[in-house]
Structure 1
């Protein structure tokens, strides 16, 4: 009797075969691509691009979820893996608990729907509809395209003086989001910088040779509208995401990339004088926020303290979803202003009420307590840690999909850092769900899917 022993390959064999391309492979991704690209459609006072007050991108994200349900029911594909079900499903359970235990469950219901959309349903749809690394790259490519469009609009606003009001001048780049969502364009462009940097440092195998330099040029050019957004939080988050991508590519490439980014910054700000004086003041204000904060920073600190006070009174379950505005005045000091001034970009002057602490972690802690905080933040931490772990393994094995890992980890790093200065709200929020889904796909997808070329 002869015994035959077959050694298992170190890397899944499917990596050696390129998945099928063409419209057949892209069809499942169309709802995701439409969700990303429709974020560019304005949904301002006239509700253009919105139906019943709901932005078009949010409506299409619901269609993506329905497509996912159809795929599971009619094509009989496997649902989420146990790990993915735990990471994405546990927040859903906790969100339901926070809704039913709120002082006014009916008022908390819209918050439950929004949180469920962004942190559970859309990420799960991305995880299930993206079947391979090629699909991942297509969705990320749509993010970069959206960033380029929004960035171009933002630069035009600065040059022509048609942007949002900033220091008495209508020069702030906000893209199509308007002055009511000054973080929208900065968020989109920040995503684009990080994603383009990932592909500039590690272009996918088999792609045209010009892709790598064009990705580097795109990342450098997107720094212009990012700078002109005057968004300190987006600057910090983009720097963190880009540094994470650079650090995970290896020492030699990291040194080279840091040198290129430094040179680009000098040329864009110093050489061309892109808003250099105002940018210098904005950068300086980052280090002065504790000693001489401006009014916006003072309001933010006041709301942070109010959120902390709510949590201390309700440490386990918080004040309930959508409860922050109702409890704000009872916990905020008299130093809190009546609202932030917004104007420009086609909108008349108005006061925008301060309805959140502009810190996602404190918002969750105040409204959902330690129970919700542990579930949601634990889910994000699992995606980030799992993504880094898989990326390290993919690099060690010579995987062809390392570029996907760099983009996923970079985007997730961007999001977790940005949550220190922002929370969910506005038309660009649906992209948070897309980013979390991309991170989930890389961290939690089956090995043969996440390593396919």
Structure 2
């Protein structure tokens, strides 16, 4: 342990000193390299304490403290979200320290699932100050998602797996003929599917924001964007999660069609995506795997039964919960529940229910408050984006990605899983940077005049 801590301190200091003068490029490098090195840059390999994400994101935090990044004025909506995030992180950490046994495992979950995404949000928020840098961050997410999708596709084609190298194990689904579920570079397939959903939203933002008239690279953007989006959608399809299939359609409709005061575009995008989905579904009707996944209702009943168990667990410790990672232990004491003759499974199968059971009403309230503040950021971004095609595309991407994360979190326990949280933090960081830098460009005088409705000939939407 001592040797590992000394090695971690040396790596953090060295990388932090290198990253401080170029924080923006260091963040982009982490984003692109993370899916490639996530299964391999681990020490020790069994029960890893040092991972690529922990070292690099920790170094980014150190570099952010040392860098001379010009920080724009804090917008009230972004400040509220940051405060809610800090409160949730503090409560999560306190519950980790009071969880026994399993304190070390709980602390590792706190670092990966809460602390590192907070750092990523701060780095992105302070370095994505222009439209060009926003698109560059989106390009990094696009490359990240493409790498993840290609790893998943090749796993299926060549029958190898990386889950065992990432701290997990290959998951065999006996309900659909013993197929090994694709997990890409991650330890579980849920993270693989959600990361692809979030990066698909970022890919659509990069594509749509690069189609401005007069852009000399518009032809290249129209070639690369759809091609990489198709790769990511293929990877999502191979995950065999029905929620991933639904999210792919939702992201396409919202990312391509949602624009201010252009409802016809949204309707057309919905019709086109639905028509394309019908065309793709027709040949899949002959697939036994597809029919089994679509028609299987037992897992839905099992999750509903698990939700009943979760409510009983929460009632046993309503204020602070039973402790981080203690759901399964408490479930064994509570007993099984059944819905439609199907017994409950050993997992909360919901981020919200898992938080309620393990952290009580205190942690659950903090999580809901953070979600409410994220909605406030989306509303503020929507107000600012009118008339700006880049910000309108960003708003659609953040809304699509946030909706996908919400759908996954309602059905699956995503909150304790780190990589997907970090990708979501990048999307929210882009939204926060757009709001704060737009606020800085208006200046205090124009903001005051806007509040009193006296901005001359400039439209209020343009000032915002």
What is the TM-score of this pair, normalised by structure 2? Answer: 0.72
Question: Residue by residue, what CA displacement relative to the aligned partner does 1:170-205 show, whole Å, maximum 9, x if unpaired?
Answer: 46443233xx51223322322233223344455464
* 1:258 equivalent in structure 2: 270
Write out aligned runs for 1:52-451 (5 A): 52=44, 53=48, 54-71=50-67, 77=71, 82-99=79-96, 102=99, 106=103, 108-118=106-116, 120-160=118-158, 162=160, 165-166=172-173, 167-170=176-179, 172-177=181-186, 180-203=187-210, 205=212, 206=215, 208-210=217-219, 211-212=221-222, 214-246=224-256, 248-249=258-259, 250-270=262-282, 273=284, 276-285=287-296, 289=297, 293-294=298-299, 297=300, 299-333=302-336, 356-395=347-386, 397-398=387-388, 400-424=390-414, 429-443=418-432, 446-449=435-438
Q: What is the CA distance between 1:362 and its match in structure 2?
A: 1.0
Distance in 2 separating the partners of 1:151 and 1:389: 32
SS of 2:188's equivalent? helix
Aligned to 2:185, the other structure's residue is in SS state helix
How far did 1:384 drift?
A: 2.8
- Write out the 4+ residue segments of structure 1 that deviate beyond 6 Å after TM superposition: none
- The aligned counterpart of 1:5 is none
Task: Please tell me whether the aligned partners of residues 155 and 225 of structure 1 are also in contact (alpha carbons under 8 angstroms).
Answer: yes
Query: How do residues 28-67 of structure 1 correspond to structure 2 at under 5 angstroms?
Result: 28-41=23-36, 48-52=40-44, 53=48, 54-67=50-63
3-state DSSP of counterpart to 2:411: coil
The alpha carbon displacement at 1:227 in A equals: 1.3
Q: Is the contact made by 1:84 and 1:444 (CA closer than 8 Å) also made in structure 2?
A: no
8 Å contact 1:151–1:226 — kept in the other structure? yes
> How many pairs are equivalent?
394
Structure 2 CA distance for aligned equivalents of residues 33 and 252 of structure 1: 36
Shift of 1:76: 7.1
Q: Secondary structure at the match of 1:175?
A: coil
The question of whether the paired residues in 1 share the 8 Å contact of 2:350 and 2:411 is answered with: yes
Change (3 A) 1:199 1:86: same
1-structure distance, mates of 2:433, 2:390: 18
State how far apart, in whole Å, the 2-side matches of 1:31 and 1:356 are. 37
SS of the counterpart of 2:83?
helix
Matched residue of 1:41: which SS?
helix
CA offsets 1:204-229 (integer angstroms, 9 cap, x no match): 64462221454234334432221121
Q: Deviations over 1:342-386 (max 9, x none)?
A: xxxxxxxxxxxx874131111111111122112122212321332
Contact 1:199 1:212 in 2 (8 A): no
In the alignment, what sits opposite 1:17?
A: none
Give the structure with the higher percent helix: 2
Work out the CA distance in 1 between the residues paired with 2:226 and 2:346: 39
Question: How far apart are residue 438 of structure 1 and its match?
Answer: 2.5
Partner of 2:5: none
RMSD between aligned alpha carbons?
3.6
Q: Which runs of 5+ in 2 are unaligned?
A: 1-18, 162-170, 340-344, 442-464
Q: CA deviation at 1:439?
A: 1.4
2:330 and 2:432 map into 1 onto residues whose CA distance is 37
Q: Which residue is 1:20 aligned to?
A: none
Residues 1:184 and 1:106: Cα distance change in structure 2 (over 3 Å): closer
